[in-house]
Amino acid sequence: MSVPTSGETYAKLMYHLTEAQECCAIMSHLEGLNDKSDRAKGWLSIEEHFKRMLKVVTGLAKGSLQ
């Protein structure tokens, strides 16, 4: 069993956050198609939160968080 590294763990985290962001965007689209605009907006809001989280995580990893 190998010892986890920061780089590998960061890559895994980014992959999962990006996957979650994409799922929320798809849910928003699907809810919009089903005439559930309030739910579509909710999923879109969550998708935008993931987008901001990805920026923060990247900044933290680069050491440039302000």
Q: Which residues contact 43 (CB under 8 A, 6 or more apart)?
A: 24, 25, 27, 28, 31
Q: What is the pLDDT of residues 23-54, one digit of tens each?
A: 999 999 999 998 889 999 999 999 999 999 99
CA–CA gap between residue 21 and residue 57 (Å, rounded)? 14
CA–CA gap between residue 18 and residue 15 (Å, rounded)? 5
Q: What is the pLDDT of residues 6-22, one digit of tens each?
A: 889 999 999 999 999 99
